[in-house]
Amino acid sequence: MAALANPSRLKGTRASAQFIMSTRVTRNVYKWLINAQYWILPGTCIVCKRSSNRPLDLCLECDFTLPPLHNPCFQCGLPLPAGYQGRLCGTCMVTPPPWTRLIAPFSYQLPLPVLISGFKYQGKLVAGRVLTTRLQYHLQREYRNCQWPSLILPVPLHGSRIRQRGFNQALEIARPLAKKFALPLLTNSVRRTRKTEQQTGLSANARKLNMRGAFHLECDLAFEPGTTIAIVDDVVTTGVTTMELARVLRKAGVSEVHVWALARTVL
pLDDT digits (tens, 9 = 90+) for 3-16: 444 444 434 444 44
Predicted local confidence at residue 7, as pLDDT: 42
Cβ neighbours of residue 191 under 8 Å, at least 6 residues apart? 156, 215, 216, 218
How many residues are there in the chain? 267
Fold of 69-264: Rossmann fold (3.40.50)
Q: Which residue intervals of the chain bear CATH 3.40.50? A: 69-264
pLDDT of residue 141: 96
What is the mean pLDDT of the segment spanning 184-199? 75
Q: Quick check: 142 pLDDT over 90?
A: yes
Looking at residue 211, what is its pLDDT? 58
What's the pTM value of the predicted model, to 2 decimals? 0.80
Cα 47 to chain centroid distance, Å, stands at 21
235 pLDDT more than 80: yes
pLDDT by residue (tens digit) across 25-61? 555 554 555 555 555 567 899 999 999 988 899 999 9
- The number of beta carbons lying within 10 Å of the beta carbon of residue 87 is 13
Residue 25 pLDDT:
57
pLDDT at residue number 222: 76
Residue 173 parent element (H or E): helix 169-181
Taking the alpha carbons at both ends of the chain, their separation in whole angstroms is 70
Q: How far apart are CA 63 and CA 68, in angstroms?
A: 10
Q: Which residues pair with 51 in a beta bridge?
A: 44
Average pLDDT over residues 173-183: 97
Confidence band (pLDDT; 50, 70, 90) for 160? Answer: confident
pLDDT of residue 218: 74
- Report the amino acid identity of residue 183: L
Could you give phi then psi for residue 56, rounded to 5 degrees? -160, 140
pLDDT at 202 over 60: no
**Identity (one letter) of the amino acid at 213?**
G
E strands present in 44-173: 101-103, 106-107, 151-154
Residue 124 pLDDT: 94
Over residues 102-128, mean pLDDT: 96
